[in-house]
Amino acid sequence: MNWIRQNPAWVMVGAMVGLLLFLWGMAIPLSAAPAPIGQAAQQFAEGSRITVLLTLIAGSAGVVIGVIAGLGKLSAFPPFRWLCDFYVWLIRGTPLLLQILFVWLAVPQFLPESMQISDFSCAAIALALNVGAYNTECVRAGILAVPQGQVEAARALGLSPLQTFMDIVLPQSMRVALPALANNLASLVKDSSLAYAISVVELTMVGYRVQAESYQPIPVFLTTACIYLILTTAFTTLTAALETQLDVGRKR
Amino acid sequence: MTATASAKTIIEAREVHKHFGSFHALKGVSATFSEGQVTAIVGPSGSGKSTFLRTLNRLEAHDTGTIRIDGIELNDDLKHLDAIRREVGMVFQSFNLFSHLSILRNITLAPMRVRKMDKAQAEAKALALLERVGLGNQALKYPVQLSGGQQQRVAIARALAMDPKVLLFDEPTSALDPEMVNEVLGVMRELAHTGITMLAVTHEMGFAREVADRLIFFDHGVILEDTTPENFFTNPDHERAKTFLAQVRHGF
């Protein structure tokens, strides 16, 4: 992993470009594959793009939720702390599949007819809430790891509590929290497959459909697994490089 | 106390009390400090000297009594606190440089955020300050790459970048290897002659005797002696001060 250490910025660019090329270019080599993969190449590519999109949306929202709830758990205002504790307790204590089904079937009953949301949005919301709860604990640990002296120095210099948080505490806590957040993101790539249950046509759903039409589960699921492996590899490379990038000025 | 005695009062502490749980750390401390005065605060550990220093910019909130800095009362009013912290710089025992920021950024952060100085101006000022503390060529390094003595000199430059009227030193050389103490004391000695008000909690008796205008001896949460360094070292009034001196005397 030395080359990642030495050029993290280039590795990040490389992983992103590689991911984009893979998502929009994979149909070309796949279409040359024998039946039943060849004729389903476009479907696999489209399903992969949905999987990645779902991961990125839920992943980014999940980080924001994690930071807010992580702060909330450390808040001096008890009701906010209780709310965040309850949220983490609820999400971590129930199955993800149930959460996805709940957002898809139960939430529309609360909403007026004009505000109905798509299957994809339901999956994104449920996944974001789920990964957000796991991120909360990582962010909380990260914030607690920032030495009190750093906060005192910032406050003594006249920085406001918000400036102290944004300029000092958040960047330093992210350095600590990032490996765990990256781990959650890698899990999210795979957890997004549960969206197939609410008929989102992502990668697993594509695989399921193609094998159902062709009665050839082995090549279809092997192809699906390979695509997932390439996606998770791209994501972990990206986050490993980001970790190195943020690791400046730290003792090793 | 020389010519500074007639100068304007900048810090006024009256009957300041502070408890940590059942421990009575400050028992009615009163003292005034005039502009340009260099005061050394000495005393055994646990005597309340650091606590007193930290109440002066509200890193510790005092329980009762009043503290006025430059005419502004230090209380729960955040406006007062911000105004005071802009005028009072602090140098910590453990440096507390922001570990994720370069040396240059450590110094420019507060002037840019708090004083709204533009980047070019802040950087020019930071480089001039680094030059002054003898670290002009270290601007782009990170704190972890510097020695303790160098880090503490950066911390002094960081505090000076806000143009404080008062500079508080909380045992600035206690965490340093012996051979690095002098480089920090050299910078402090130079500062003492610039007319800035300095309060230094220190164990460096040589420094206190040579540089300070005034010496305060703390014991068990009260000011036991408030006199000139010359008086304190040659003819202390209290038995506790004599014992303390006998214990620290070796070595200078």
- Strands B214-219 and B222-227, how do they pair? antiparallel
Structural domain count of chain A? 1
pLDDT of residue B2: 47
- The encoded tokens of residue B139 equal 């601007």
Per-residue pLDDT of A78-107, as tens digits, reads 999 999 999 999 999 999 999 999 999 988
Residues of A in contact with B100 (CB under 8 A): 168, 171-172, 175, 246, 248-250
- The encoded tokens of residue A236 equal 């972990």
CATH of the domain at A14: 1.10.3720.10
Mutate to test the interface with A, among B90, B91, B93, B99 (most CBs of A within 10 A): B99
Count of all residues that appear for chain B in the document: 252
Nearest CA in chain B to A172: B100
Alpha helix segments (H runs only) across A74-169? 78-92, 96-101, 107-110, 119-144, 148-156, 161-164
B109 touches chain A (CB under 8 A): yes
pLDDT of residue A252: 45
Q: Quick check: is A227 in a domain? A: yes
Q: Quick check: is A252 in a domain? A: no
B92 touches chain A (CB under 8 A): yes
For B205-242, what is the HEC assignment? Answer: HHHHHHHCCEEEEEECCEEEEEECHHHHHHCCCCHHHH
- Residues B104-143: b if buried by 16+ CB within 10 A, e if exposed: bbbbbbbbbbbeebeeeebbebbbebbebbebeebbebbb
Residues of B in contact with A149 (CB under 8 A): 92, 94, 96
For B104-141, what is the HEC assignment? Answer: HHHHHHHHHHCCCCCHHHHHHHHHHHHHHCCCHHHCCC
Other Cβ atoms within 10 Å of A54 Cβ, number: 24
Q: How far apart are CA A247 and CA A166, in angstroms?
A: 17
Give, for B11, the enclosing helix (H) or strand (E).
strand B9-20
Query: What's the distance, CA A233 to chain centroid?
Result: 14
What letter does residue A94 receive in the DSSP assignment? S
pLDDT of residue A32: 87
Share of chain A above pLDDT 90, in %: 72
Strands ordered across the beta sheet of B88-91: B88-91, B166-170, B197-201, B38-42, B214-219, B222-227
Q: Quick check: is A50 in a domain? A: yes
Quote the crossing angle between the two packed helices B103-113 and B148-160, to the nearest 10°.
20
- Residues A220-239: b if buried by 16+ CB within 10 A, e if exposed: beebbeebbebbbebbbbbb
Q: A157 vs B98: CB contact, 8 Å cut-off? A: no
Q: Quick check: is A32 in a domain? A: no
Residues of A in contact with B98 (CB under 8 A): 150, 153-154, 167-168, 172
From the list A152, A158, A248, the residue facing B110 with the nearest CB is A158
Sign of CA dihedral B181, B184, B188, B189: positive
pLDDT of residue A67: 94
Q: How far apart are CA B65 and CA B47, in angstroms?
A: 19
Distance from the Cα of A176 to chain B's closest Cα (Å) equals 12
From the list A159, A250, A251, the residue facing B114 with the nearest CB is A159
Mean pLDDT for chain A?
Answer: 91
Under the banding of pLDDT at 50, 70 and 90, the label for residue A115 is confident
B96 touches chain A (CB under 8 A): yes
Q: Do the beta carbons of residue A57 and residue A200 sit within 8 Å?
A: no
Provide the 3-class DSSP secondary structure of residue A70. Answer: helix
A251 has a pLDDT exceeding 70: no
Q: Quick check: is A210 in a domain? A: yes
From the list A157, A167, A250, the residue facing B144 with the nearest CB is A250
Q: Could you list the residue range(s) of the whole structural domain that residue A101 is in?
A: 10-23+43-245
From the first residue on, what is the mean pLDDT of each consecutive set of 10 residues in chain B (252 residues)?
A: 64 94 93 94 92 94 93 89 91 94 96 94 96 93 94 96 95 90 91 92 90 93 93 90 83 50
Q: Do the beta carbons of residue B208 and residue B217 sit within 8 Å?
A: no
Q: Quick check: is A34 in a domain? A: no
Hey, which bits of B35-102 come out as E strands? 38-42, 64-69, 72-73, 88-91
A2 has a pLDDT exceeding 50: yes
B167 touches chain A (CB under 8 A): no
Q: Do the beta carbons of residue B33 and residue B196 sit within 8 Å?
A: no
Provide the 3-class DSSP secondary structure of residue B33. Answer: strand
Q: How far apart are CA A212 and CA A200, in angstroms?
A: 17
Residue with tokens 């470009």: A17
Q: Quick check: is A58 in a domain? A: yes
Counting DSSP H helices and E strands in chain A, the numbers are: 13, 0
Q: Count chain A–chain B contacts defined by CB atoms under 8 A.
A: 73
Q: How far apart are CA B110 and CA B219, in angstroms?
A: 35
Q: Quick check: is A95 in a domain? A: yes
Residues of B in contact with A252 (CB under 8 A): none
Residue A224: HSE in the Cβ half-sphere, 13 Å Cα cutoff: 24
- Residues A156-192: b if buried by 16+ CB within 10 A, e if exposed: bbbbbeebbbebbbbbbbbbbbbebbbebbbebbebb
- The encoded tokens of residue B78 equal 């955040």
Nearby residues of A191 by Cβ (< 8 Å), 6 or more positions away:
A96, A127, A130, A131
